[in-house]
Homo-oligomer: A and B are copies of this chain.
């Protein structure tokens, strides 16, 4: 077990799978000669050659579709979007080709593809480059979605995604690439659909995914100073969704905050709220609260950006509110 970065862990997962299966290849903008826009594929061109590590033109719709076509023929493409922001251009191929193909063909044509890249905001990249794209990928059935938060999860979930016979989006975080952590050296796969309790507490549940796990943990540390102990549940994959783990933490604390990076309307959190109130109605002592990006496009200016992003303070306040320690709920 070595301490490596999240970036290196993703690289390790791709190499692990490319070593065991020749039908896996990596295609995307700048993945080969440039070693990846964020250097996630560093060294892979040298290791696997330009048959399997391929620089594409800036043609998101086209190269995503080409990868889906290759998957139709039985290959297992890893299609890198430089960021998921740009994948909106490719969404037709994701939804209308990748997600619906198996069903339309009555099970004849599985699409074992991975779409991966960073999602959400980094720092001051402004409106068009700072969008969390989860909603666009979970809404349609036929796609799975994983959101690793730590280096170990990055390796294990990406490996699982590559082995999965369905389209899996793996959403990473630009701000996570340098995060370090212990990662198993040996073959490592984390099954999709298993949430991870990243911290245990009895008073309130912070449920979240992806990059926001770190914000949740920081909030939990802050709350601990006030003797409020939070469960921090990292969903790890949004489809399949570990409903049991969600219901377990709700039953334990009876108070829940859902934290996500994206916008509120029809966000992932909305679905989690719907699930909880439907299946654990009597377990709730107060409404499930949500912390999201402000319902505005991401502004560039540092101060506005900070205001727009969901931060530790907002999570702490939401937890307090869930516990009624901030007075009566509005």
Q: Footprint of B on A, CB under 8 Å?
A: 61, 85, 88-89, 91-92, 95-96, 99-100, 103-104, 126-128, 131, 134-136, 138-142, 239, 262-271, 273-274, 277-279, 281, 284, 286-290, 295-297, 299, 329-330
Contact = CB atoms under 8 A, between A and B. Distances in A.
A265 B104 CA distance: 20
Identical chains in the assembly: 2
Contacts of A277: 273, 277, 287-288
Nearest to A268: B266
Contacts of A136: 136, 139
A103 B297 contact: yes
Contacts of A134: 266
A135 B288 CA distance: 21
Contacts of A295: 141
Nearest to A132: B139
A262 B266 CA distance: 12
Contacts of A299: 103
A126 B100 CA distance: 10
Contact of A89 (B92, B138, B239, B288): B92
Nearest to A90: B92
B271 A265 contact: yes
Given A100-B128, A273-B277, A287-B281, A267 B139 contact: yes
Contacts of A268: 266
Contacts of A288: 274, 277-278
A270 B266 contact: yes
A135 B100 CA distance: 17
Contact of A271 (B104, B140, B264, B297): B264
A328 to B, nearest CB: 11
Given A88-B91, A91-B88, A290-B274, A297 B100 contact: yes
B269 A142 contact: no
Interface centre among A268, A274, A277 (most CB of B within 10 A): A274
A126 B92 CA distance: 16
A273 B95 CA distance: 25
